[in-house]
Structure 1
């Protein structure tokens, strides 16, 4: 990581994963083809990420058991809006220079995490406390918490229609750029 002052802890990275609406998984594509990348609705349980898919399609062929993958998560991203155009003009006129403007105006705040791991296909076992059902339950709790009264019905259907993948986290790198109330960039692991 080039900007070590923006590197955050693994625990921060796990929090980014939990807050992110989705992650983008990348894996090797077929020989001679570009890498395969797909946005996914992921959930984390401990040090394992889970996602689901239909039992047919590109994912089935491109994500076999043991395939190495990288998943990128962004929990927050946006332009901070620290200064008005008038304030920026005043800074230029006061001699602070263009580098001050580009570093404080033409910039983005973000929290991100990048995970590497290997695909593990979760065995379809019926029952309430199997890894398969617990993974699907966690996905549903994250994305449709107000519909959990119907989860058992969905689970009964999933046994025949849904594949569940796991990625055990091997490495996690996290990074953040954020400004404080004084319009100064927060540095490494500073709240």
Structure 2
């Protein structure tokens, strides 16, 4: 996985002063947030959905029911784009069109993989659940069978920040 390179569908960052160039900062954003916007495409029609996710340092995981629009699309096209943002408020200006968002954002592309290995599936679910509670759970075989876990193997990633001092 690389930080943004040529060929990324989003191209190079126009506002270089806002680009996050340190991988550790991108990882910290992915590790600290809970909601990822996942963009899929089927038959030239875009599909965007927010999902709760977990990040293990190399891949993103989310869970789903075993059927539905996103599952149908992913079975036909495993290419995805994802976005995670941390929003900290508005930076006001005296001119209306010069307001800015105080934020950090990560955008990337990758491939979705349906997780079949039970140990990997449980580890991903544990990581997602840990975002919301300190309670440890066990998953019944029935529940595991009816829960789909998807791993996003990240190909490219880039970050943008505004309203923070440069490190």
User: Which category describes the TM-score, using the shorter chain as reference length?
Assistant: 0.7 to 0.9
Tell whether the 8 Å contact from 2:40 to 2:46 is kept in structure 1 after alignment: yes
Matched residues in 2 for 1:136 and 1:158: separation?
11
Work out which of the two has the higher radius of gyration on C-alpha atoms and give 1 or 2: 1
Match of 1:107 in 2: 100
1:1-191 aligned within 5 A: 1-8=13-20, 9-29=22-42, 31-32=43-44, 34-64=45-75, 67-81=78-92, 88=94, 103=98, 106-125=99-118, 130-142=119-131, 144-148=132-136, 151-152=137-138, 154-179=139-164, 186=165, 190-191=166-167
1:147 aligned counterpart, secondary structure: coil
- CA change 1:135–1:155 in 2 (3 A) is farther
Q: Greater strand percent: which structure?
A: 2
CA-CA distance at 1:102 after TM superposition: 5.3
Task: Please state how far the C-alpha of 1:21 moved relative to its aligned partner.
Answer: 2.5
For residues 65 and 139 of structure 1, the distance between their equivalents in structure 2, rounded to whole angstroms, comes to 25
Is the 1:10–1:172 contact (alpha carbons within 8 Å) kept by the matching residues of 2? Answer: no
Ranges of 4+ aligned residues in structure 1 off by more than 4 Å: none
Shift of 1:163: 0.4
Question: What RMSD in Å do the two structures reach over aligned CA positions?
Answer: 2.1
Where does structure 2 lack aligned partners over 5 or more consecutive residues? Answer: 1-12
Aligned partner of 2:10 in structure 1 is none
Instruction: Using structure 2 for the length normalisation, give the TM-score.
Output: 0.82
Deviation at 1:63, TM superposition (A): 0.9
CA distance in 1, matches of 2:123, 2:77: 21
The residue that corresponds to 1:95 in the other structure is none
Question: Which is worse superposed, 61-70 or 34-43?
Answer: 61-70
SS at match of 1:56: coil
Distance of aligned partners of 1:140 and 1:52 in 2 relative to their CA distance in 1, 3 Å threshold: same
